[in-house]
Amino acid sequence: MTDRSRLLLLGPVDLRVGDTSLVLGAPRHRALLALLGLAAGRVKPVTAIVDDLWGDDPPSTVVNVVQVYVASLRKVLAPAGLTASLVTQSPGYRLMLPPGTVDVELFDQERRAGARREARGDHHGAAAAYRTALDEWRGTALADLDFAPFVAVERRQLEEARLAAVVGWLRCLAALGVHDEAMPAVERELAANPLHEELWGLRATMLYQAGRQSDALTTLRRARRLLSRELGVDPGPGLLEVERRVLAQDPSLTRVAKRPLSGSAVTHVATSASGGFAVVLPDGRRLVLGRRGAVVGRHPDCEIVLDHRDVSRTHARIAATSRGHSVEDLGSTNGTAVNGEPVVPGPEGRPLSHGDRIEIGPLIVRYEAGPAATSWSG
């Protein structure tokens, strides 16, 4: 089977083969699939399945019902070539999916990678990893499973992880001085999380970076009043430190982080706009692809230049096809892969589908075929 299978939980539950969503059956079938996917390859006991799906009101024949659900799920998994992945293992069931199949797993990997890079001071690389993690989200996690008792806790944990990734991404953008791009995201997150002190601090920092010290101080006063009114507390040490630095006009607030010597971000792009086909670059920018496609590499004459020592001078070509695009490795040193599968050098290329992760050496470029994308002939 050549099409990639993906189990998507960071939004409405969906099982896709390539660009096709499979029919998952009854609501509790979907809920069971989500439960097993969230277990990340661990055995889910039958007793836990019953509690998570029915709570205190299970049917009298609940064990048999679970068995029927599992049998139905195996049929659902067949078109994805994953029937054998759902195994019976005492005291319950286990869903053993290939690495990179579940969006929650990919989100968590990239979020942790972002945190590691940020801790090393690689704000460019961290911002790219955080952005890649956040791109896995398609809306409210487990959006169509509100009836299931387990969803509230799981969703809260996932949302907390998402917010941590958003704040990490915004911290990195602030360190890089990219306040124009970051401010709309800060405003959205503050609207949803008005008591989040670090978001208030980031808003004040970015306003100061934009030369708006008065607005930055107004933001800090608003945060102080809100915390006092809603929680009866004063600002914490982090927000007080931002206030001190803004009042002191601390030059470090406007000092842009240097790019690490190894590089990690796009330095130059020249693409033509056409259709709904695009790539999301390591620094989070979305660029529309035209009929000519783009050569990706370290050489300054490439259409997409990735400044990283492990990217070859002319590394890969994203070429237009009758149905979209393909990617071709140009004999690079460290190789090109799509969703973890190496692309063999040669002119035929590897066809791309929406959501594919193109690995250019150590960097990841995501391919998109948005709502406006059709075949070039259409």
CATH number of the domain within which 350 lies: 2.60.200.20
Residues 6+ apart with CB under 8 A from 346: 328, 329
- Which residues constitute the domain of residue 144? 104-254
Tell whether 377 is covered by a domain.
no
Looking at residue 260, what is its pLDDT? 43
Pair 48, 82 in one domain: yes
Question: What's the whole-model pTM score?
Answer: 0.72
Tell whether 260 is covered by a domain.
no
Pair 250, 114 in one domain: yes
Looking at residue 140, what is its pLDDT? 97
Domain boundary (223, 254, 285) is at 254
Which range, of 28-37, 42-51, 351-360, averages the lowest pLDDT? 351-360
Pair 163, 112 in one domain: yes
Counting residues of the chain whose pLDDT is more than 70, the rounded percentage is 91
Looking at residue 370, what is its pLDDT? 60
Judge whether residue 165 has pLDDT over 90: yes
| CATH number of the domain encompassing residue 25 | 1.10.10.10
Domain boundary (196, 230, 254) is at 254
Q: How confident is the model at residue 57 (pLDDT cuts 50, 70, 90)?
A: very high
Q: How confident is the model at residue 109 (pLDDT cuts 50, 70, 90)?
A: very high
Half-sphere exposure for 198 (CA within 13 Å, toward CB):
11
Looking at residue 129, what is its pLDDT? 86
Looking at residue 298, what is its pLDDT? 87
Rounded to an integer, the average pLDDT of 108-119 is 92
Q: Which of 232, 226, 176 shows the shortest CA–CA distance to 206?
A: 176
More confident call, 263 vs 98: 98
Looking at residue 131, what is its pLDDT? 87
How does pLDDT run across 331-377, given as a tens digit for each residue? 898 899 998 889 987 777 899 998 899 999 888 899 988 654 444 34
Tell whether 259 is covered by a domain.
no
Calculate the dihedral angle through the C-alpha atoms of 229, 197, 142, 374, rounding to the nearest 10 degrees. Answer: 120
Q: How confident is the model at residue 66 (pLDDT cuts 50, 70, 90)?
A: very high
In three-state form (DSSP H/G/I as H, E/B as E, the rest C), the secondary structure along 140-173 is CCCCCCCCCCCHHHHHHHHHHHHHHHHHHHHHHH
Looking at residue 303, what is its pLDDT? 84
* Mean pLDDT over the full length of the chain: 88
> Is residue 64 within 8 Å of residue 49, measured between CB atoms?
no
More confident call, 148 vs 294: 148
Looking at residue 262, what is its pLDDT? 36
The distance from CA 305 to its chain's CA centroid, rounded to whole angstroms, is 22
Which range, of 14-18, 108-112, 370-374, averages the lowest pLDDT? 370-374
Looking at residue 341, what is its pLDDT? 87
Tell whether 88 is covered by a domain.
yes
Looking at residue 239, what is its pLDDT? 96
Judge whether residue 274 has pLDDT over 80: no
Strand partners of residue 266: 306
**Encoded amino acid at 9, one letter:** L
How does pLDDT run across 175-208, given as a tens digit for each residue? 988 887 789 999 999 999 999 999 999 999 999 9
How does pLDDT run across 252-271, given as a tens digit for each residue? 898 876 544 333 444 434 33
Residues 6+ apart with CB under 8 A from 294: 271, 279, 302, 303, 304, 317, 318
Rounded to an integer, the average pLDDT of 16-35 is 93
Residue 195 is given by DSSP the state: T
Pair 58, 118 in one domain: no
- Total domain count, the chain: 3
Domain boundary (213, 231, 254) is at 254
Looking at residue 258, what is its pLDDT? 55
Rounded to an integer, the average pLDDT of 158-166 is 97
Pair 189, 55 in one domain: no
Judge whether residue 36 has pLDDT over 70: yes
Rounded to an integer, the average pLDDT of 93-121 is 93
Pair 119, 237 in one domain: yes
Looking at residue 277, what is its pLDDT? 84
